[in-house]
């Protein structure tokens, strides 16, 4: 991976947005201290690792947009990949709570958060590792980003154990440690599981012990039992039960004494007693029913007398009805005559009234001479006549006779109805008595039929049937007593029969004990095998843990020639001209110490901070950094970021460093910052492009204010004909 | 094989070989006529390198200034002043004897003097007395010439997976590494390493031999 550009927004010393083209073999960044050079380096570091060194986090304090974002443009084997990190919660005041998820955009995919971290880890790591991204990313950054203060601190300020851990991570021992941790974790879980399994067997062991105890007790009980005598009694009882002649049961005459057989025989007896009790209940119910008195049967004479009286009254009633009918006709005729007479009288009155208005000596109607006075009196009499008394009295007489006849007819009807009702009641009483008697006979037939296998028997007389029922009840009661007695006698075998159950229980417990013992043995064997596995794993784990030092030591030994090349190129010390890194284990911890050696007189020092000047220590630190990066190649990042490496280097070491950088140029992209314009010019001259396809770019930070830095950028001209002596 | 004394010729030959390995070409044809016969000039894309031989350290201390003048003259005659290469000269000063105690500081000053051209000093103290093979000179010469030589990255350890070589490294502390192989394989495939180890041990118990 090679860095081709960066856009910084609201990050570090950039309040607005700054975009810088980094698509060059050499990027020289120059500017006064505080102008934001280090911001570029930190932005690259933050984009990859998500970690920032500032106490307030990565935010720019003067940012107006509130956005904090770094877009890192990169080239992965010819494919453009954009790595972006931005603050999600820029207002958060606690730097530990800031969230800045990673995003990765390739030409055909986009990833965010954990997925982006996985993508980056896989594409930057040398091996397919699942190490924690934060630690791994920091290791990546440490291997490509040279910060003088942190390197010098690595050499002179850190404990030798911390140095070992840092270098171990860089040389790939992190995967070894990850493997050891994983193995350790599985081992702990394994031990826990084995211990739990072993504890779980305690229950089985206790159960096996309990079963053994139970077996001993049962064996003792069985040995004490007298089966011979009990068997004789059993046979007697069994025969007695057989003699009861219980129908429809299996033949139990050969059943041996056992809890099961005892239970089965009891079942037979109980079933028989239950059947007897059912019959008994039924018969008692019938007996109670038969003891209720039958209703009286009316005699035939009373019924005949009532029949005759009915006939007589019926005839009388018919006669009276005829008489009433005749009288009704006579009344209707008298009324009709009376109505006709009334109508004539009214016509005469009307005519008389009219003639009265014309009374004279002659009749106004016929002209006949009349006595006027008499004529008037006669007319007035006619006009005032209102009733025909004789006709009315005749009609009233006929009506009186009719009413008398009707009253007499009604009385006869009432008497007839009473006689008929009584006759019907006596008839019903007689039918009911006959039915009750028949019902009792049928009931008796039914009861006896249920007791007899030959079907219903003939019942001639009810009293005889009742007597037979009483006898049958006595017989059933006696049989019930026999069965109950047999059941009571069976109780004597309970204790003996339970011993038979003990035998069965003994056999069952013995079988269960054998199974449990076998199962327990297999489980204990498995646990023992798993404990052996844990022992072997312990040996392996110890060897693996110890190997971390061997691995790091081997790797450092392999690195030695390269480290010496780099150290010699800068050549910081006139006598301590040989350098190596030694590892050792002390106090159970791995330790790492840089060793400087004067080989001419065989003197070594293990504390460079006390022997070397600041400039010399810096030169050693740079040598270590470069040798780790090129020697171990801990990441696929082909860029090196050197933040102001000039600090405290004198001229000759500075030239040595620049010469070294020029030799690294074919292998790494270089991004170098400096506050020293002379050094920047030296870099531009020494690291100039010497062919058309190489590029050195110069980024100058011209100012810094609250709006951010001023940035200028130009390319160092390529030298297309660099050879001056050798003809090209 | 007998050991030979390191001579000036052997040293020059090794220097020439190492410079050639770094694509630094000899340019004797343009060498200034006033240069001694055993001096040499080389060039690569970035710099011009002169090699100047002295019979002793005393002579070197006395004559390095004149040698530097010759190199500057050579640059001045062939490279224009504004050309970056005009500022990219190296002078390798050789002396085939040891450094007297009294000249140690002087030599250090010469090395530290970065004016005009950079001086790289190689004396007999930097070399073995005798060698069986001229190639034995290489690491000694390379150390002084490091600023101008390409990096030798052939022997760099590079990236490696510590697990792949783990069985070999800890073989001495184990009865057998086959168990470890099973554990590593299980770890890499995401299976339980303890289960894998257990299966391996059970198989060995049942068969009496190491499973393949």
Q: What are the pLDDT digits (tens) for A437-448?
A: 888 888 888 877
Tell whether the model's pLDDT for residue B63 goes beyond 60. Answer: yes
* List of residues 6+ apart from A696 with CB closer than 8 A: A24, A25, A26, A27, A28, A684, A687, A688, A689, A715, A716
pLDDT number for residue A456: 52
Q: DSSP secondary-structure letter at B39? A: -
Please, are residues A426 and A302 in contact by the beta-carbon 8 Å criterion? yes
Q: Which residues of A touch B83 (CB under 8 A)?
A: 724
Among the partner-chain residues B30, B87, B201, the one whose CB lies closest to the CB of A532 is B201
Contacts 24+ apart (CB under 8 A), A308-317: A309/A419, A310/A416, A310/A419, A310/A420, A310/A423, A313/A412, A313/A415, A313/A416, A313/A419, A314/A416, A316/A412, A317/A409, A317/A412, A317/A413, A317/A416
A558 CB within 8 Å of a chain B CB:
yes
Please, are residues A139 and A169 in contact by the beta-carbon 8 Å criterion? yes
Tell whether the model's pLDDT for residue A532 goes beyond 90. Answer: yes
Higher pLDDT residue, A408 or A579? Answer: A408
Among the partner-chain residues B79, B194, B201, the one whose CB lies closest to the CB of A187 is B194
A534 CB within 8 Å of a chain B CB:
yes
* List of residues 6+ apart from A400 with CB closer than 8 A: none
Please, are residues B12 and B53 in contact by the beta-carbon 8 Å criterion? yes
Structure tokens at B149: 């030589």
Among the partner-chain residues B87, B114, B158, the one whose CB lies closest to the CB of A685 is B87
Q: Which residues of B touch A632 (CB under 8 A)?
A: 157-159
Question: Read out DSSP for A446-483?
Answer: HHHHHH-TT-PPP---HHHHHHHHHHHHHHHHHHHHHH
Nearest chain A residue (CA) to B152: A562
Interface of A with B in 653-712 (CB under 8 A): 655-656, 659-660, 662-664, 666-667, 685-686, 688, 690-691
Tell whether the model's pLDDT for residue A454 goes beyond 60. Answer: no
Q: Which residue, chain included where needed, has tokens 């002649």?
A: A245
Which residue(s) pair with A369 in the sheet? A362
Please, are residues A487 and A301 in contact by the beta-carbon 8 Å criterion? no
Is A626 strand, coil or helix? helix
- State mean pLDDT over B111-134: 89
A632–B158 CB contact, under 8 Å = yes
Higher pLDDT residue, A714 or A139? Answer: A714
Please, are residues A673 and A182 in contact by the beta-carbon 8 Å criterion? no
Provide the pLDDT confidence category of residue A127 given band limits of 50, 70 and 90.
low
Is A602 strand, coil or helix? coil
Return d(Cα B79, Cα B182) in angstroms, integer: 66
Distance between B80 CA and the closest CA of chain A, angstroms: 10
A664–B198 CB contact, under 8 Å = no
A630–B148 CB contact, under 8 Å = no
pLDDT number for residue A516: 93
B104–A726 CB contact, under 8 Å = no
Q: Which residues of B touch A167 (CB under 8 A)?
A: none
Higher pLDDT residue, A153 or B92? Answer: B92
pTM value > 0.80 = no
Q: DSSP secondary-structure letter at B56? A: S
What SS3 string covers A54-91? CCCCCECCCCCCCCCEEEEEEEECCEEEEEEEECCCCC
Tell whether the model's pLDDT for residue B65 goes beyond 90. Answer: yes
> Of A385-399, A657-671, B90-104, B108-122, which gets the smallest average pLDDT?
A385-399
How many beta-carbon contacts under 8 Å exist across A and B? 180
Among the partner-chain residues B160, B170, B198, the one whose CB lies closest to the CB of A543 is B170
pLDDT number for residue B91: 95
Report residue B65: phi and psi, to 5°.
Answer: -65, -45
B155–A562 CB contact, under 8 Å = yes
How high is the mean pLDDT of chain B? Answer: 87
pLDDT tens for each residue of A305-321: 888 999 999 999 999 99
Distance between B118 CA and the closest CA of chain A, angstroms: 8
Q: How many CA atoms lie within 13 A of A680 on its CB side?
A: 22
Whether the predicted interface score ipTM is above 0.95: no
From residue A640, alpha-carbon distances to A336, A635, A661, A698 in Å are 153, 11, 10, 16
pLDDT number for residue A460: 61
A722–B151 CB contact, under 8 Å = no
Provide the pLDDT confidence category of residue B6 given band limits of 50, 70 and 90.
confident
pLDDT number for residue A361: 80
Return d(Cα A456, Cα A244) in angstroms, integer: 25
DSSP H helices in B98-192: 104-112, 138-145, 166-169, 178-188
A529–B202 CB contact, under 8 Å = yes
Mutation target for A interface from B98, B157, B169: give the one with most A CBs within 10 A: B157
Provide the pLDDT confidence category of residue A152 given band limits of 50, 70 and 90.
low
pLDDT number for residue B25: 92
pLDDT number for residue A458: 66
- State mean pLDDT over B123-128: 90
Tell whether the model's pLDDT for residue A47 goes beyond 60. Answer: yes
Q: Which residues of B touch A540 (CB under 8 A)?
A: 174, 179-180, 183, 197
Residue in A675, A705, A711, A715 with CA at minimum distance from that of residue A18: A711
Distance between A569 CA and the closest CA of chain B, angstroms: 5
Return d(Cα A707, Cα A65) in angstroms, integer: 12
Tell whether the model's pLDDT for residue A73 goes beyond 70. Answer: yes
Distance between A189 CA and the closest CA of chain B, angstroms: 9
pLDDT number for residue B119: 94
Return d(Cα A155, Cα A617) in angstroms, integer: 8
A539–B174 CB contact, under 8 Å = yes
- State mean pLDDT over A9-20: 88
Please, are residues A198 and A528 in contact by the beta-carbon 8 Å criterion? no
A190 CB within 8 Å of a chain B CB:
yes
Residue in A123, A114, A29 with CA at minimum distance from that of residue A74: A123
Among the partner-chain residues A555, A633, A722, the one whose CB lies closest to the CB of B45 is A722
Q: Which residues of A touch B199 (CB under 8 A)?
A: none
> Of A422-431, A575-584, B140-149, which gets the smallest average pLDDT?
A575-584
- State mean pLDDT over A112-126: 84
pLDDT tens for each residue of A170-181: 777 778 888 888
- State mean pLDDT over A357-382: 83
pLDDT tens for each residue of A541-599: 988 888 877 888 888 888 888 888 888 888 777 778 788 888 777 777 778 788 888 87
DSSP H helices in B117-163: 138-145
Nearest chain A residue (CA) to B156: A631
Structure tokens at A724: 């001056």
B41–A667 CB contact, under 8 Å = no
Structure tokens at A530: 């798993």
- State mean pLDDT over B61-75: 93
Q: How far is the first Cα of chain B from the last one, in angstroms, to the nearest whole number?
A: 47
């Amino acid at each position: 991976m090679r860095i081709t550009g960066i856009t910084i927004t609201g990050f570090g010393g950039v309040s607005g947005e700054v975009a810088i083209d980094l698509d060059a073999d050499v990027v020289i960044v120059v500017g006064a201290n505080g102008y934001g050079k280090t911001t570029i380096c930190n932005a690259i570091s933050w984009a990859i690792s998500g970690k920032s060194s500032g106490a307030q986090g990565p935010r720019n304090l003067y940012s107006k947009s509130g956005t904090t974002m770094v877009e890192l443009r990169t080239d992965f084997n010819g494919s453009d990949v954009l790595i972006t990190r931005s603050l999600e919660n820029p207002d958060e005041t606690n730097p530990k709570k800031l969230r800045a998820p990673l995003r990765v955009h390739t030409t055909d995919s986009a990833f965010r958060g954990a997925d982006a971290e996985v993508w980056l880890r896989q594409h930057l790591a040398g091996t397919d590792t699942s190490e924690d991204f934060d630690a791994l990313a920091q290791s990546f950054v440490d291997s490509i980003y040279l910060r003088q203060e942190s390197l010098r601190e690595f050499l002179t300020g850190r404990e030798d154990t911390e140095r070992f851990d840092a270098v171990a991570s860089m040389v790939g021992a992190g995967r070894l440690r990850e493997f050891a941790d994983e193995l350790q974790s599985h081992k702990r879980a394994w031990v826990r599981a084995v211990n739990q399994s072993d504890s779980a067997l305690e229950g089985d062991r206790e159960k096996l012990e309990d079963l053994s105890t139970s077996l001993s007790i049962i064996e003792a009980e069985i040995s004490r039992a007298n089966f011979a005598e009990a068997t004789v009694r059993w046979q007697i009882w069994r025969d007695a039960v057989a003699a009861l002649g219980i129908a429809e049961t299996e033949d139990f005459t050969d059943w041996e004494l056992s809890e099961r057989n005892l239970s089965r025989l009891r079942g037979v007896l109980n079933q028989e007693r239950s059947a007897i009790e059912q019959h008994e209940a039924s018969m008692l119910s019938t007996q109670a029913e038969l003891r209720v008195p039958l209703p009286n049967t009316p005699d035939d004479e009373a019924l005949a007398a009532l029949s005759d009286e009915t006939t007589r009254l019926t005839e009388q009633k018919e006669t009276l009805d005829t008489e009433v009918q005749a009288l009704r006709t006579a009344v209707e005729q008298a009324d009709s005559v009376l109505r006709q007479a009334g109508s004539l009288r009214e016509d005469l009155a009307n005519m008389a009234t009219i003639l009265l208005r014309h009374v004279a000596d002659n009749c106004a109607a016929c002209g006949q001479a009349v006595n006027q006075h008499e004529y008037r009196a006669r007319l007035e009499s006619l006009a005032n006549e209102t009733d025909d008394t004789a006709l009315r009295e005749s009609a009233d007489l006929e009506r009186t006779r009719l009413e008398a006849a009707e009253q007499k007819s009604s009385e006869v009807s009432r008497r007839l109805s009473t006689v008929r009702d009584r006759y019907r009641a006596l008839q019903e009483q007689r039918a009911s008595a006959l039915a009750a008697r028949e019902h009792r006979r049928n009931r008796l037939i039914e009861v006896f039929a249920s007791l007899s296998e030959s079907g219903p028997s003939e019942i001639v007389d009810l009293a005889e049937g009742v007597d037979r029922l009483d006898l049958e009840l006595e017989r059933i009661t006696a049989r019930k007593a026999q069965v109950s007695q047999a059941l009571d006698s069976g109780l004597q075998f309970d204790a003996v029969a339970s011993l038979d159950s003990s035998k069965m229980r003994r056999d069952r417990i013995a079988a269960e004990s054998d199974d449990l013992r076998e199962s327990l043995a297999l489980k204990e064997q498995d646990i023992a095998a798993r404990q052996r596995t844990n022992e072997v794993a312990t040996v392996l784990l110890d060897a693996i843990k110890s190997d971390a030092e061997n691995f790091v030591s081997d790797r450092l030994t392999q690195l030695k020639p390269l480290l010496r090349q780099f150290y010699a190129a800068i050549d910081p010390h006139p006598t301590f001209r040989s350098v190596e890194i030694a590892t050792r284990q002390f106090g159970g911890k791995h330790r790492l110490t840089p060793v400087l050696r004067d080989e001419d007189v065989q003197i070594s020092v293990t504390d460079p901070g006390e022997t070397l000047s600041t400039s010399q220590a810096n030169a050693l630190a740079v040598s270590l950094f470069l040798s780790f990066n090129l020697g171990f190649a801990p990441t696929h990042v082909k860029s090196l970021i050197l933040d102001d490496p000039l600090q405290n280097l004198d001229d000759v070491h500075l030239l040595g460093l620049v010469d070294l950088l020029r030799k690294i140029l074919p292998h790494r992209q270089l991004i170098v910052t400096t506050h020293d314009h002379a050094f920047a010019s030296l870099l531009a001259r020494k690291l100039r492009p010497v062919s058309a396809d190489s590029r050195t770019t110069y980024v100058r930070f011209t100012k810094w204010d609250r709006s951010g830095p001023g940035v200028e950028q130009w390319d160092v001209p390529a030298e297309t004909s660099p050879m001056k002596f050798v003809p090209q | 094989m007998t050991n030979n004394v390191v001579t000036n010729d052997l040293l020059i030959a090794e220097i020439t070989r190492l410079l050639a390995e770094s694509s630094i070409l000899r340019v004797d044809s343009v060498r200034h006529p006033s240069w001694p016969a055993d001096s040499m000039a080389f060039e690569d894309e970035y710099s011009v390198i002169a090699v100047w031989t002295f019979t002793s350290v005393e002579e070197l201390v006395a004559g390095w200034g004149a040698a530097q003048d010759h190199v500057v003259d050579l640059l001045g005659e062939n490279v224009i002043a504004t050309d970056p290469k005009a500022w990219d000269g190296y002078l390798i000063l050789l002396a085939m004897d040891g450094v007297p105690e009294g000249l140690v500081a002087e030599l250090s000053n010469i090395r530290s003097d970065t004016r005009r051209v950079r001086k790289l000093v190689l004396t007999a103290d930097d070399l073995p007395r005798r060698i069986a093979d001229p190639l034995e000179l290489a690491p000694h010469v390379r150390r002084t010439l490091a600023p101008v030589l390409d990096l030798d990255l052939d022997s760099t350890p590079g990236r490696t997976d510590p697990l792949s070589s783990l069985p070999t490294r800890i073989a001495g502390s184990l009865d057998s590494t086959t168990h470890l192989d099973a554990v590593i394989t299980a770890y890499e495939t995401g299976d339980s390493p303890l289960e894998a180890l257990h299966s391996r041990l059970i198989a060995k118990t049942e068969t009496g031999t190491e499973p393949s």
